[in-house]
Amino acid sequence: MSKLLDDANLIQEECLGRIDSTDELKSLRPRFHMASPCGWINDPNGLSFFNGRLHLFFQYHPYSNRWGPMHWGHAMSEDFLHWNFLPVAMAPDSEADADGCFSGTAIEDDGKHVIVYTGVIEGNTIQNQSIAIGDGVEYKKFDGNPVITAANIPFEYDKAHFRDPKLWKENGLYYVAAVIKTDDGSGALLIFKSENLRNWEFVSVADRSSCRLGMMWECPDLFSLDGEDVIIISPQEMKEDLEQGWHDGNNSVFMIGKLDRSTWKFNRKIVKQIDFGIDFYAPETTLLPDGRRIMVGWMHRWEGFSTPDDYPWSGMMTLPRELKIKNGKLYQHPVKELDSMRCNPIKGKAVLESEKETALEGVNGRFFDLELKMKDVGKNSGILDIKIACDDVHCCDLMIDFENLEISFDRSKSGTRKDCESFRRFRFELPVDGMFDLRMVCDISSAEVFVSDGEYAFTNVFYAPKDATEIRFVTSENLSFDYNFYTLV
């Protein structure tokens, strides 16, 4: 084991020990989301099922709660909700990745856990793809790394931007899809193939932005689901477009289309936002043995830093979400395993008088699952404001504006340090049958919201004081809805 890996493990152990022995820190940890054990985390990496467990690696800088030379942290779960931390899988300790082990993916292959990732060198001016193989705990990098470099690409591109390989196996061959920055300054998705993981051959430019879908692309994923071919991309520098559902900066989009397996070109038909929230980026998916396609995203963002400075960690992952496609739409649901945490069910019908702030008996807390259904919803239903994490001073507002068909989240009163990063909204369509449904899963400092049976996802984090546990409802019109509320334990 290298000194860099040793050091990273020492600091992780020290940090986890400190959290475990400090009640205040323990009380701030999410209960059923993977949160950084120590220091900074960003993208989920290597999400994969191996030896009967779900493995989730992550971009990791254990030395401070800010980004730094990237390691691969490693967590494992049996139930997709509770995570055990394993030794740090990789440190930037080889010639092929001396400036960072950037994002990548993993598969189970012939009893081995195979990782492909981006090795960064020469002060982040060169990015190439490398391989590591492990047994679920320890990982050994190939001596011959890097295995995919500029020498594999038959045209010019920006060498500082070639990263985030997605690995899969098909008809006995290995494939990698990775992103580059082309000479127009925007992203493209390349496909490579190999018989042995060591020697790779360029196959195609499967798709490209041509400066129309953001600039550089990051973290691609590529899979088939419900009879459709799907590509996931996280494009940078997009411009706000409320109609399209884009916000300024980094977005994560899914594209439904057809991947022609003779040319390996993708014919893009539908492009949509995956999650409209402030805190969602760089998702990765994997296929479970039971056939479910699940996705995990980074529950944070590059455009700002909202973690309180005195936290020894920064960053959480979303719940694993099961994906489905119906009629050209992507539907997301928290994995069904979450239902096992539901306690103290409260079922009721709320009848709300306009402009009157209402609390519902037993509906409060910071670890909950709230389901709400409304009938006969139309433009004249006005605004429903669900206030969570409230005390006398603080609260966050999830506002459903039925008149303007907008849903927004405002955390400016949650005790955040910078209110300019506190608001996000998106447009939605009302179902034709007049039924509106919403589910909100809250885990102390995050709220994942799913609307219209998971057609819209909206993920936001907030760091309100932990005792701010009241939930209140305010409406502009007289409204009623049915609800189910569970505390998650």
Residues that bind ligand FRU (CB under 6 A): 42-43, 59, 70, 102-103, 118, 163-164, 218-219, 281-282
- The least CB distance from residue 164 to ligand FRU, in Å, is 5
- CB closer to ligand FRU, 127 vs 408: 127
- The least CB distance from residue 190 to ligand FRU, in Å, is 14
CA angle, residues 121, 122, 124, in degrees to nearest 5: 70
Nearest residue to 355 via CA among 468, 470, 485, 472: 472
Cα distances (Å, whole numbers) of residue 472 to 101, 399, 405, 469 = 45, 12, 21, 10
Contact call for residues 475 and 383 (beta carbons, < 8 A): yes
161 - beta bridge partners?
Answer: none
- The least CB distance from residue 87 to ligand FRU, in Å, is 20
Q: Where on the phi/psi map is residue 341: left (φ > 0), alpha (ψ -120 to 50), or beta?
A: alpha
C-alpha to C-alpha distance for 305 and 108, rounded to whole angstroms: 35
- CB closer to ligand FRU, 166 vs 411: 166
- CB closer to ligand FRU, 217 vs 483: 217
- CB closer to ligand FRU, 280 vs 402: 280
- CB closer to ligand FRU, 118 vs 194: 118
- The least CB distance from residue 42 to ligand FRU, in Å, is 5
DSSP state of 238: B
If one counts every other C-beta atom within 10 angstroms of the C-beta of residue 453, the result is 17
Where is 16: in which H helix or E strand? helix 3-20
- CB closer to ligand FRU, 273 vs 408: 273
- The least CB distance from residue 179 to ligand FRU, in Å, is 8
- The least CB distance from residue 67 to ligand FRU, in Å, is 7
Residue whose structure tokens are 């919403």? 438
Is the bond leading into 92 cis (omega within 30 degrees of zero)?
no
What number of CA atoms fall less than 13 Å from residue 228's CA on the CB side? Answer: 21
158 - beta bridge partners?
Answer: 181
- CB closer to ligand FRU, 78 vs 248: 248
486 - beta bridge partners?
Answer: 369
- CB closer to ligand FRU, 66 vs 347: 66
- The least CB distance from residue 295 to ligand FRU, in Å, is 15
- The least CB distance from residue 103 to ligand FRU, in Å, is 3
- CB closer to ligand FRU, 317 vs 384: 317
- The least CB distance from residue 118 to ligand FRU, in Å, is 5
String of DSSP letters for 319-381: PPEEEEEETTEEEEEE-GGGGGGEEEEEEEEEEE-TT--B--TT-B-SEEEEEEEESS--GGG
